[in-house]
Amino acid sequence: MRIIRLTGFGTADFETSITDTDSATTPTSVYVYPLGGDVDECIGLLPKPGCGFEPTQAGDRGGALQYAVFGLIVIGVVVVFSVVFRNVIRRDNERAKHA
55-87 b/e with 16+ CB inside 10 Å = b? eeeeeeeeeeeeeeeeeeeeeeeeeeeeeeeee
Residue 17 pLDDT exceeds 60:
no
> What is the model's pLDDT at position 22?
53
Query: What are the pLDDT digits (tens) for 26-83?
Result: 667 776 666 666 667 777 787 777 777 778 887 787 888 989 999 999 999 999 999 9
**pTM value?**
0.50
End-to-end Cα separation, the chain, in angstroms: 79
Residue 20 pLDDT exceeds 70:
no
User: Distance between alpha carbon 39 and the CA centroid of its chain, in Å?
Assistant: 24
Q: What is the DSSP letter of 67?
A: H
Q: How big is the CA angle at 40 (ends 34 and 44), to the nearest 5 degrees?
A: 90
More confident residue, 62 or 84: 84
